[in-house]
Amino acid sequence: MPLVTINLMEGRPPEKIERMITGVSDAIADALDAPIDSVRIVVNEMREHQYGVGGKPWRVVQAERVRAAEEAST
């Protein structure tokens, strides 16, 4: 029984998450030649303060990326 855990930042509409569950389930069943009924998907939604990259809170990383994109476009 394949079990897949997906961690996402919160804020996506339930319909998109449901569509993702279907797509991931289909891909796993196909790749493993497993019955689709045996595939389990767990989706964990996180708030921004629960995630970090490179020792920095996610909000700091996002702000740095926005600044870098603005500088690159000028």
* Active-site amino acid positions: 2
Let me know: does 51 contact 10? Beta carbons within 8 Å.
no
Which whole-number Å values give the CA distances from 35 to 19, 25, 69, in the listed order?
A: 19, 10, 44
Please list, in sequence order, all residues whose beta carbon lies within 8 angstroms of the beta carbon of residue 7, skipping any fewer than 6 positions away.
44, 46
